[in-house]
Amino acid sequence: MAHALAEAGSHIVISSRKLENCEAAAHEIEKIGVKALAVGCDVTKADQVEAMKDAVLKKFGRVDVLVNNAGRAWVAPPEDMPLDRWQQVLDLNITAPFLCAQALGREMIKAKRGKIINIASIAGLVGRNPQAYNSIAYGTSKGALVNFTRDLAVKWAQHNIQVNAICPGFFVTSINEKMFEKNAEQILREIPLHRTGGGDDLKGIAVLLASDASNFMTGAVIPVDGGSTAW
């Protein structure tokens, strides 16, 4: 998504807990011909989010688009889900988007324009087969993010801020690749296109929701899932 927005002409801020990863990503993005800033930030910590916002404003003077993409899961049957893991998942998947939207949204309100893109999941739209997906904390948090998107869209429409959500289906990442290897047959059986998401499959929707082409879209929840929620 960051590469897609850079290719469309946006300057980019990459932020996560691991600064070295952000710096590597920023270096690659700069090769596209835009400016990029790497900021280390634990987005579950309000003070670090404020510091990240200050770094963005110091570098670029404004913020136009926020993509809330940080997330985590913990796999366990509901009856065995540890309370501390439940809380960690909710802290990152729903409290962090609130903190980032609040801090950066204040700047968007001043500017009377802005775009917020929340990365939810189809796990927040439907119950999932426990043989392939068994993280009730993840599904719960992403369901909360879906309705957070809708309610914030209504609340901030008066400020000309559009708030939308992308709900990806199964994309293989370093976090879930072992689970995919173990359950590939079951996972692919539930996807009509019979493949997982690829590196380019979120680019178009990210650029659409970040651009003026989506100025009349707010509160939308858009699956990008190979047809998984169309069964």
pLDDT in tens, 33-77: 999 999 999 999 999 999 999 999 999 999 999 999 999 999 999
Residue 45 in domain: no
Q: What is the pLDDT of residue 147?
A: 98
Residue 75 in domain: yes
Q: What is the pLDDT of residue 22?
A: 97
Instruction: Let me know the angle formed at the C-alpha of 9 by 103 and 113, rounded to the nearest 5 degrees.
Output: 35
Residue 3 in domain: no
Q: What is the CATH number of the domain that holds 170?
A: 3.40.50.720
Residue 194 in domain: yes
Q: What is the pLDDT of residue 129?
A: 87
Residue 218 in domain: yes
List the chain residues with pLDDT less than 70.
Answer: none
Q: What are phi and psi of 154, to 5 degrees?
A: -70, -45
Q: What is the pLDDT of residue 132?
A: 78
Which residues, listed in sequence order, are joined to residue 224 by a DSSP beta bridge?
168
133 as an active site residue: the answer is no
**How big is the chain, counted in residues?**
231
Residue 157 in domain: yes
Q: What is the pLDDT of residue 156?
A: 98
Q: What is the pLDDT of residue 110?
A: 98
Residue span of the structural domain in which 192 resides: 63-230
pTM assigned to the model: 0.96
Q: Which of 98, 133, 138, 156 is catalytic?
A: 138
